[in-house]
Chain A
Amino acid sequence: MVSFIGKVKKLLMKLNTKMRSFFWNIRRILHNVKTKIGKFLDKYHLNFANKFPGWAKALLYLSPALIVLTIFTFWPIINSFALVVYENYNMSNDTITGYTLFGNFLTVITDESFIVPASHTGSSAVINTLIIVFISVPISVLLALFISVALNSIKPLKSFFQTIYFLPYVTNTIAIGLVFAYMFKTDGGLVNQLLGMVGVNAEGLSWVESGAVYWRSMFVLIFYGIWASLAFKIMVFLTSMQGIDKQYYQAAAIDSTPRRRIFSKITVPLISPMIFYILVTSVIGAFKIYNSIVALFGVSGAPAGVDYNLQSIVMYIYQFIDGSNAGNLSVAAAGSLILFVIILLLTLVQMQVSKKRVHY
């Protein structure tokens, strides 16, 4: 038996060397062919590749991506600037009644349910979005920081825990949303059952269905948003924490630094570029929130039979493209530009603040 295993091992080793030398020879042959072609081209002055400047070659390699980006990103951006000055644009027959500079912006701003809460809804798209941004982003960033510090200090089963915390990232958003909606069901939902177990009377307490109040639905939405976005943040923080030189921690240990101060004075400043990156991208991401609301509450953006609405700015814009007000693209373009300006301003503010706080 032992000799048999030995023979198989020997055979595999032999096969391995054969394969490696095979690929080695192929590389040699290709190299020879390449040199010969190069020599031939040089001889008859046909080697045009050398005649192009470097940037022209780079542009050539970039062109496939550039073409796609132009069609699907740059052109729509330019187009939305054009759309916004059309008055009463009709998508089906491509006609307009005239041009206006601020008309579409005024339509959006004065619209009930964009900024000012409509009398019958009790909330507006901007208010909803701002609540989501300013509650979920700080909480999720802080939570991710603490979890990554904890994960970083775990020794046994390290990669196991890291995998667990990374799982939400590879799971579909809509699927998670549906599971959440199920967990927060009024009758027989996991959350209500748990609440019942710890002695809270949760009978008929509704979260995402008819009868839910605004803050309960919002809580579920924020909770869901934080949970779904944690994984990526943890991964980024953990990776950058593992890149910190161990000597800083040894030096801190010798200087009897308490854990809290090690965290705030060493870990956080040293990964501050990553924290800043995560902060900017998650603020932008939170402003563009769309699919998690749809996953929890459907395209209406509200539990059935309630007098408020949880729609975000993007959902508001979307209704002019493919929703209740379909076809009014000029208004949608105006809404997008307003969203763009809000995000731009906030990012500029963050960059200003970061100049003092971020250490590169």
Chain B
Amino acid sequence: MELRLENLTKIFTNKSGAETTAVDSLDITIESGTLVGLLGPSGCGKSTTLFMIAGLVKPTSGKIFFGDDDVTKLAPEKRGIGLVFQNYALYPHMTVYNNIIFPLENLDVPRDEAIERVKAMANLVGIGELLDRKPSQLSGGQQQRVAIARALVKKPRVLLLDEPLSNLDARLRLQMREEIKRIQRETGITTIFVTHDQEEAMSISDKMVVLDFGQEQQYAAPQSMYNNPGNLFVAKFLGNPPINTFEAEIKKGYLIINEQKFMKTKIADGLYDIGMRPENFRAGEEGFKVDVKDIFHIGRDTMIHFDFNGSNIRALVDSDDITTGQKTVNLTIKTERVYIFDKETGKVINHG
């Protein structure tokens, strides 16, 4: 089912009357059956957005549509959503079975069918043998599966996941993120996934939304967002190691770095923010010559530190292209992998 946010805004007012805009006129359409990652640094309003979709937080203005239904004023229980909380919120006094069947007890479902659905869902998420246990007897990953089963068992129209992997250890996180993707594909349910981990969002989402201070920065498929960041914030937020940014001048059609012509460009003269991803550099015989400040060999890759206009820049290059003890390196980078941002607005100029 398609989910549409129209001009969604949430303003919190504290006791002294000061206003904080948590979510700022969000306009997003999420296609039916896709998994969308809501990504942003902490405090950017991603959880607030999710809770507004769930109905637990009332929007200040704007509308939420599930398909053609306007659900903005609808109470959470009438929206038909499944929500997985950050710390799962499994009822500690109930067994796994009772936890999963709990949502069905409130619906008009025959008992046999309910039991059948609980068992099928438990098997789908891989906790079929744990139905008699209490949540406290389960590991983090198992609790996570129970929470997903509980959210899915009533066949919701939309599945919402609020940082579902943040309480798991690194290995389990990798495994669960594949699991979530698999469950989402098998059920074909429209899913929104909130996270602050860009790698997690990129690996799991069909499309993702990057938020900052409640404002949508970009809404695109992960790889295209990575290759064509809409602005400086998105460029900085995605990628590990992070993108190199520095100031540089464009003079007479040339980008000037370290008082040398770096590359040709059609952009008007002026001062710009430049972004270059460390892994987009290639070392070779030819190219832009830089003085090596520091060099780290990390097996397959080698990290080189050098200066561009006084800023420290990192380049991640193939170890085979570097010989130990090199004092200078010749680097090349593809023109379309150089991102030029407006200094005022932060918008990308040479992409889009």
Hey, which chain A residues are within 8 Å of B75, CB to CB? 253
User: In the complex the two chains form, is A258's CB within 8 Å of B83's CB?
Assistant: no
Contact segment of A194-202, A244-252, A291-299, A327-335: A244-252
Quick one: given A256-B77, A256-B78, are A251 and B106 in contact (CB under 8 Å)?
no
Q: Is A230 an interface residue (CB 8 A)?
A: no
Say yes or no: A256-B89 contact (C-beta < 8 A), given A250-B56, A251-B83.
Answer: no
6 A-B pairs besides A253-B77, A254-B79 with CB distance below 8 A are A253-B75, A254-B82, A258-B106, A269-B94, A270-B92, A272-B93
Question: CB-CB < 8 A to A266: which residues of B?
Answer: 91
Which residue in A245, A257, A261, A265 is a CB contact (below 8 Å) of B89? A245
> Given the complex, which residues of A lie within 8 Å of B103, measured CB to CB?
255-256
Which partner residue on chain A sits nearest B103 by CB separation?
A255
On chain A, the number of residues with a Cβ less than 8 Å from chain B's Cβ atoms is 18
Closest B residue by C-beta to A258: B106
Leading 3 A-B pairs by shortest Cβ distance: A256-B77, A359-B93, A255-B103
Q: Is B117 an interface residue (CB 8 A)?
A: no
Count of B interface residues, CB-CB < 8 Å? 25
Query: Could you tell me which residues of chain B, from 81 to 108, have a CB within 8 Å of some CB in chain A?
Result: 81-83, 85, 87, 89, 91-94, 102-103, 105-107
User: Does A250 lie within 8 Å of B85, measured CB to CB?
Assistant: yes
What is the count of residue pairs linking A and B with beta-carbon distances less than 8 angstroms? 59
Are A254 and B92 in contact, CB atoms less than 8 angstroms apart? no
Given contacts A248-B89, A270-B93, contact A254 B78 (CB under 8 A): no
User: Which residues in A have some Cβ–Cβ distance to B below 8 Å?
Assistant: 245, 247-248, 250-251, 253-258, 261, 265-266, 269-270, 272, 359
| B276 to A: closest C-beta gap in Å | 43
Most chain B CB neighbours (cut-off 10 Å) among A254, A256, A257, A265 = A254
User: Are B91 and A247 interface neighbours, CB within 8 A?
Assistant: no
Tell me whether A359 and B105 are in contact (CB under 8 A).
no
Our pick among A251, A258, A265 for the contact of B85 (Cβ within 8 Å) is A251
Does B102 contact A247, Cβ atoms closer than 8 Å? no
**B residues near A270, Cβ cutoff 8 Å:** 92-93
The verdict on A261 contacting B76 (CB below 8 Å), with A250-B85, A359-B93 known, is no
Q: Knowing A247-B87, A261-B105 touch, does A254 contact B93 (C-beta < 8 A)?
A: no
Contact residues in A for B76 (Cβ distance below 8 Å): 250, 253-254
CA distance A256 to B75 in the complex (A): 9
Complex Cα distance, B89 from A245, in Å, reads 8
